[in-house]
Amino acid sequence: MSPSLTLFFIVEPPSYLYMGCHLAASIRKFLPPDVRILGYCPQHRWADMAPEPLEVLRRLRCEVRPIRVEGMFDPSYPHGNKILATLEPKDTDFAAFLDSDMLFLKPCSIEELTSPGQIGMVPATSMRWAPQDVWKRIYATFGMPVPDQRITMTRDKRHAVAPYFNAGLVVVDETWRNPSGKRFGEVWMDCAQKLDGTGIENRRPYLDQMTLPVATLAAGMTWNILPEKYNYSINGIMRGKPLPQDADVTLLHYRGRVILTEAGMRDLPDKILADQLGTSRVRWIFDVPPPAGIPPVARDSLPPALPDAAHKVSDASRTVAPVSGSDPSKARMAAVTMVKGDHEFLSRWIGYYGPLIGRENLYVLRHGPDPEIDRIAKGANIVHLPDTGDKSGFDRRRWATLSQFTSGLTLYYNWVLCTDVDEIVAPDPATGQRLPDYLDSLFATGQAPRVISPFAIEIVHTPASEPEPILPDRPILSVRRNFRLNSNYAKPCITRGRITFSIGGHGSTTRDVTLDPRLFLFHLRYMDDSLSRARLAARKAWVEQKSGPLAEGARGGSTWHQGTESFDALSRLAPVEERAEFPDFVQKMSEGRTQADTGNWFFRSMRSAELYRLPPRFGALF
């Protein structure tokens, strides 16, 4: 007799809820019918769930339950939702957590996945967030030695490594108890909270994967190393390539529709859904009758009230109006920049935003022909703008173009980001979210901002304290973490609607702009001594050719007039403190927001006299 099995995943709206529908459909298509399916929604998002995906899950016999996530990690840690879902009791012999962005492609028996006393996992594809010696510090936190066993990761096969697994599939023996009587989910949660309180870098967002092998051994269990076919990723080096014809794939980890499209499988989730429920679109579910044995329900009865007293929320939170969410008629996010030369910065800009939102959603306005730009930005949308040599009104024309181009894209995208090429926007790694996920999560507030300004910092290379060079295959912030505060770069660069930027993009005609201190704009013009000096000198020569040099002793004009003067002074400083939160600075910026004679609104202009240093958690960001 086969053991009983529950498959569970996160159905937080909007994206995970819809992904969960397609995952559940693939489970019903390829796994035994007695497999139970559970979807967990953070209870503070319960009222935000749309009726159509909930009806799809109901018809697929997937039970949806709330879980408490607020206050379980401090600060919040969305990646930890899988741990919290694993912590919830199950009433089957085995339970397996699945990332929501997965699909079964072949029949799969329960016996293939389960093994008594073991945690079933597939090795990770690679590990680039820290060197291997980090495991000594991780295991030492729990008074444990690093295991002698070494494994090979599924894509980076250069070296055998300490056991490290992809947390997209975690199969748990629910009958197992450690000597203290704890289930694996309880041990995993204990380990995650303990490690989260240490100073080990890159805990966010890798805390779940860091603690997965540790918790397995701490629970008195061993790992059942599953073949790659049970967690086959098409991200990373596989991205943009069709699925190999000889690939043995039972469970596909596709990451997002964009990546599926790149692999030639754009319609796969819709076909699986149609095969199970008679419609290829979640939003059409009420137009088709339910399967035999599934009683009909009214659309307005979903979502139901929270199931029981254990999951009740406060009366105050019940009064919050449901969130409309993103506009389903639009794509998720676009990013725009304009560039002439600056190949090093463009490489980093493309390298960061491309994997996040797909190169097809990047727009590079190229000022004049440049084969190197075409090479670097291959796959992105390269818009040719002629360089006639006329430099009059260049900045005004440039930002008028970016304003109108960005505004037009908001008709097709829920979020549009527009920055200079030497600027990168990212959320604090402590949020556990990447940029598009973080922006989408703002819809949960019920008041997603129309325009957002990130909190701005300038990375400053101080050769005396950061002598290592910037290398193409290493994150910039792994060797450059010193910075100064500069409110002028808290640009209104993320918008959901039409916008008119000031010259330089530092302000706009929009009065109500949300300054978000958990979002950072990293200004990189000073990130490297030699690169910065050469670039600053070239810009000074260019602007003086256009408008002439400043009079002797004069100040002001374009920042391009200033050459290396500011950088010379900053690069000799040493950071005074390691920190990333500056609430007083943020408050003064906001309180000093004013409208200039031009009609543009700006935050108070402020710069720190000293340098600070980013905490280690930022090191792998980009």
What is the tens place of the pLDDT at every residue in 283-297? 999 999 999 888 899
Distance CA 147, CA 299 (A): 53
Q: Is 26 helix (H, G, I), strand (E, B) or coil?
A: helix
pLDDT value at 557 more than 60: no
The domain 5-318 is placed in CATH, from the list 3.50.50.60, 3.40.50.20, 3.90.550.10, 3.10.20.90, at 3.90.550.10
Judge whether residue 542 has pLDDT over 80.
Answer: no
- Bridge-partner residues for 117, per DSSP? none
pLDDT at position 449 over 60: yes
Fill in the amino acid letter for 328.
P
Tens digit of pLDDT for each residue in 341-361? 999 999 999 999 999 999 999
Is the Cβ–Cβ distance between 618 and 430 less than 8 Å?
Answer: no
pLDDT (mean) for 57-80: 92
Task: Name residues whose C-beta falls within 8 Å of residue 430's C-beta, 6 or more positions apart in sequence.
Answer: 75, 77, 204, 617
C-beta neighbour count of 457 within 10 angstroms: 22
Question: Band of the pLDDT at 447, cuts 50, 70, 90?
Answer: low
> Alpha helix (H) ranges present in 103-197?
110-113, 134-140, 184-196
Q: Is the pTM of this model over 0.95?
A: no
CB 455 within 8 A of CB 490: yes
Provide DSSP, 570-619: HTT-----B----HHHHHHHHHT-EE-TTS-EEPPP-B-SS-EE--GGGT
- The structural domains of the chain, with segments of one domain joined by +, span 5-318, 331-618
* pLDDT-based confidence at residue 540 (cuts at 50, 70, 90): low
User: How is residue 508 annotated by DSSP?
Assistant: B
Fold of the CATH domain 331-618: Spore Coat Polysaccharide Biosynthesis Protein SpsA; Chain A (3.90.550)
Confidence of residue 393 (pLDDT cuts 50, 70, 90): confident
Total residue count of the chain as it appears in this document: 622
Give the pLDDT band of residue 553 (cuts 50, 70, 90).
low
Q: What's the confidence (pLDDT) of residue 442?
A: 86
Sequence-distant (≥ 6) Cβ neighbours of residue 174 within 8 angstroms = 6, 90, 92, 93, 94, 95, 183, 184
Q: Which amino acid is at 567?
A: F
